[in-house]
Amino acid sequence: MLHSNELPMSQRLTKGDENQIKGSRGQGFKGSSEDAIAASISAFSLHLTPRPLDPLNPDIQKGFSGEKGVTLIELMIVLLILSIIAGGLSELLAVGLTSSRENRIKTGLIDDANYAMNRIINAARETNFILIPQNAPNPVRDILAISAMVDNDNDGKVDEDWSSDIGNDGQPGLAGFDDDGDGSIDEGGGPMQYDDDEDGSADEDIPKNGLDDDTPLDGNYDEEFRADMSITGGKCPPVCSKDDDGDGMTEEDPVDPLIFYVNNGSLYEKKIVWNPATGTSIITDSKLIDNVSQFRVERLLGVNGKTLIKIRIGLATGKGNVMLESEAYPRMMPAVTP
């Protein structure tokens, strides 16, 4: 139970109030006891009612003077610091997102370059003929043409019965391509369809003997293809002198070109496969990758007479670029005699 001195100042009984209550108890009321009790409660409750604070009271002023607020300058400084921190975080986030996007783009370019390089190197390693580039006069080109190693007649042998027209397309060399790298395409047209290297002469080099048979020497080896590989006659009577494998069919398994080339910044793979049943070629031309900035093919001849092919593929976009290099020895190609 609270005593009057434990109550707030506004609710404490004054000395006179206490005397008045005591007097009332001592002298009694002229009315009934209920009236006396009611009067006592009423007098006491007046002193328990909260009184409004006086702002002029020194005690109250002293209590407020100890409180401190935030000035406008302090608030502005805090806001400035927060804005600087937010700006820095935004910049870091933007740099991180840009770097992540560039890394994804570069990773995609590397994947594309690896995909194309693997296809080219695997094909070059297993081929038995390289059609473009030639050893001379331009051993560095932006195109690679090799034998696709197709068994056209399903006899278990590959490229054993040629045609004199290497592309089976009625044009010198490979139709639509600059075979010798002199800037001209299909030189001589149809009448020169047996000129496989586009040098102006047809069947001037004996194939598959590993020698430069041209007169004068042109620095190339086995670059011409003849329908009669034995030169003096096939393996059956003279009427079928072009039946090089003696199976009763002529020119049924020629060299089928597989060509890797660039067109409008994309690397393509073109395959020309002869169908002996219909006497026509089946041509497929598919895109491998985009964003090609460089496709470089170099043909080298080692001291051991083995041919080496070096490949470089460059890809580039506005956000990144990559460059891959690799090489392959065509293991099916016979050595030549330099």
| C-alpha closest to that of 123 among 263, 305, 307, 269 | 269
- Please, what sign has the CA dihedral across residues 301, 302, 307, 311? negative
| Position 46 pLDDT exceeds 90 | no
Question: Comparing 79-88, 141-150, 169-178, 266-275, which segment has the lowest mean pLDDT?
Answer: 79-88
Average pLDDT over residues 67-71: 69
> What pLDDT does residue 26 have?
47
Compute the distance between CA of residue 114 and CA of residue 117 in angstroms, rounded to an integer.
5
β partners of residue 280: 275
16-32 per-position pLDDT tens digit: 555 554 554 444 444 45
At 4 the pLDDT is 46
Mean pLDDT of the chain: 79
DSSP secondary structure letter of residue 9: G
Sign of the torsion formed by the C-alpha atoms of 234, 237, 239 and 243: negative
> In one letter, which amino acid is 149?
M
pLDDT (tens digit per residue) in 213-222? 888 888 888 8
CA–CA gap between residue 194 and residue 177 (Å, rounded): 15
> Who has greater pLDDT, 15 or 195?
195
User: For residue 120, which of 263, 323, 261 has the smallest C-alpha distance?
Assistant: 261
Cβ burial 221-237 (10 Å sphere, 16+ → b, else e): bbbbbbbbbeeeebebe
Q: Is the pLDDT of residue 309 over 80?
A: yes
* Nearest alpha carbon to residue 329 among 179, 150, 117, 127: 127
Quote the pLDDT of residue 269: 98
- Radius of gyration for the chain, computed over Cα atoms and rounded to the nearest angstrom: 51
Contact yes or no for 265/292 (Cβ under 8 A): yes
> Which of 9-13, 50-54, 75-79: highest mean pLDDT?
75-79
Q: How far is CA 106 from the centre of its chain?
A: 5
pLDDT at residue 241 in the model: 53
pLDDT band at 47; cut points 50, 70, 90:
low
In this predicted structure, what is the pLDDT of residue 16? Answer: 53
- For 203-306, list the strands marked E by DSSP: 257-263, 266-275, 280-289, 292-301
